[in-house]
Amino acid sequence: MLRRLKFIGALGVMLLMALLVSAEQRFPPPDFENGYSLPSTSTPAARQLWLQYGDTAVFLAALGTAVWLIYKKRSRRGVFWLSLFSLAYFGFYRKGCICPIGSPQNIVYGLFNPGYAVPLTVLIFCFAPIVVALFGGRAFCAGVCPQGALQDLVLIKPIVVPPWLEHALGVVPYIFLGAGLICAGTGTGFLICRYDPFVPFFRLSGGTFILTFGAAFLLMGMFVGRPYCRFLCPYGGLLRVASLASKWRVRVTPDTCTQCRLCEQSCPFGAMREPPSPETNPKWLRAERKRLGWLLALLPVLILAGAWGGSKFSPTAAQLNPTVALAERYARQQIHPVEYGLMTPEALSLQRAADNPAAILTQAADLRRRFALACALFGGWVGLVIGVKLAALSVRPSRTDFEPDRGACFACARCFTACPNERVRLGLAPAAQGAEPL
């Protein structure tokens, strides 16, 4: 009897081992040896702290160099070589991360999520170009931004964008900025980074959609000067506002403007502004003041209407958040069960929600309340942007020479050597006979 039990036990062990071997053959582990390559991550790996501070030092040095080249040396060649360095270092070497364009999202995310601490390097990358813009205009755009440098390289023959289209598209960066900050504050994602058209080229990776999106901007950039910077970049919108109050501004010539309009032809970004006619009809001035008054009175109405419309949109916008979407799927599953395939993302997410449904539903309710406030603020922001833009179009500028618009000027220094007086000052052209040196 004992021998028979030992035989049955040995036979059972053999059958169990056979089943294990069979299972291993039916479900073999992945082959990580023969030609396997690890998938690339969507963001660069974290750098050591001293390297991050090194990047920050290079960034600040580049900003200072840009200001020196623009206002002291007045050198387009120097700005060009600085932009190539920035493209190589901050673009392809650092793979576009971190960059000032997406940094406001980090700050807003840190404000509304106590578990996230904003790194000091992110704060410097975000605020240093804005501080520089308050004193020296958009020096960051001129020679430090790799996205701008890449667009400058593909520019072949710029065309003039009609003023009405320029003004209409000029509000898009501010709307995109508001949407990006709302998504970051609610934990939905970093929208500005996700739809940056040039970072995938810096990282040599990306999905089909975003690569096509970037290629379209590069193709457009062959004929339109910096289309992303002018019509989509949210950080460029911030710098545009800051540069309106800049202490120094780009001047085509430090001497006398001869109204030759050569500087206007040299600017591929449509930033040069013609001086208004000195002869003004009093009736026109009264009409302009009246129109400006009505627009200023309309501004609160636009803000309130935008806030109301944004609050109505909040239930739809909240579904963009993965936690809210999961809570709604879980609630529907309890009422109308749906059979999902085994190990599908839907089935796995529902299983995760079923482990602690109270926590998921509570978190989703908190996010819906946050979205209600955020969407109302976003709608009011859109109304404010549109109202301020309409009011700005009704203000008559006061200038006597051809000058770049402080906000629209990228400080690229192209217009310097297009001015005959500047070329005389630099010794690149002889002064006109009988004329005193200017």
Q: Compute the CA torsion angle 30, 31, 36, 42 (nearest 10 deg).
A: 10
pLDDT in tens, 311-359: 999 998 998 888 888 888 888 888 888 777 667 777 777 787 788 888 8
Q: Considering the entire predicted model, what is its pTM?
A: 0.84
Blockwise average pLDDT, block size 10, the chain, 438 residues: 57 56 47 52 68 93 96 92 96 89 93 88 95 93 95 92 91 95 92 93 90 95 94 95 88 76 85 74 74 88 94 90 86 80 74 82 90 94 93 76 85 86 74 47
pLDDT in tens, 102-160: 999 999 999 988 888 899 999 999 999 999 999 989 999 999 999 999 999 999 989 99
CB 104 within 8 A of CB 180: yes
Measured distance CA(153)–CA(185) in Å, rounded? 35
pLDDT of residue 435: 45
Measured distance CA(304)–CA(136) in Å, rounded? 35
Count of residues for the chain?
438
Interhelix angle 234-243/172-185, nearest 10 degrees: 120
CB 374 within 8 A of CB 182: yes
pLDDT of residue 5: 55
Beta-carbon-side half-sphere exposure of residue 367 (alpha carbons within 13 Å): 28
Measured distance CA(27)–CA(284) in Å, rounded? 82
Report DSSP letters for 276-331, one per residue: PPS---HHHHHHHHHHHHHHHHHHHHHHHHHHHHHHHHHHHHHTTSHHHHHHHHHH
pLDDT of residue 179: 95
pLDDT of residue 380: 95
Per DSSP, the three-state class of 178 is helix
| Residue type for position 278 | P
Tokens 């992110």 label which residue?
122
For residue 32, what is the DSSP state?
-
pLDDT of residue 349: 79
Phi and psi torsions of 396, nearest 5°: -85, 120
pLDDT of residue 326: 86
